[in-house]
Amino acid sequence: MDNNDRLTRLRYALDIKDNDVVEIFRLGGATVTKEQVRAMTTRDKDGNYEEELDNERFERFLNGMITSQRGVREGAPEPELELHSGNVNNLLLKKVKIALSLTGDDMLEIMDDAEARISKSELGAVLRKEGHRNYKPCGNRYVRNFLKGLALRYRG
């Protein structure tokens, strides 16, 4: 699963329109157009995305999503970009959790809705900061099931 897949699935799960995606990117500090959004979320005949979504822009989207849902914190420094290919799934879960004001129990229910079993300690390990002794890299399966559960919850 790449960043384009993650963005496409997240957009679908939360029913985010193109104009809103452009605004979320703007709030995160990236400038994109509606055409670029469509290119990032549409596959061509060969099954490839027309425009590749790199880690920096994807993290800016996630940061913008937090800002759009929770508002701007006064006096807060701009968040450091810490996304790399090894922790992208972990940060996706963590930032969506923050943006939607979800608790750990909410996340477990969402995963359960998608018929995915994850223990509270596994979830805690996935949400820990990279470098913590109990940190665990998050696999694509958890993210797929989490986004499927979000779609079931937010789209009915």
Whole-Å CA distances, 91 to 8, 38, 58, 94: 16, 23, 10, 5
Q: What percent of the chain has pLDDT over 70?
A: 100
Higher pLDDT, residue 45 or 25: 25
Q: What is the pLDDT of residues 59-117, one digit of tens each?
A: 999 999 999 998 887 877 777 788 787 889 999 999 999 999 999 999 999 999 998 88
Tell me what the mean pLDDT of segment 133-145 comes to. 92
pLDDT at 155: 84
pLDDT at 4: 94
pLDDT at 22: 96
Nearest to 64 by CA among 104, 96, 101: 96
Buried b (16+ CB within 10 A) or exposed e, 67-105: bbeeeeeeeeeeeeeebeeebbbbbbbbbbbebbebeee
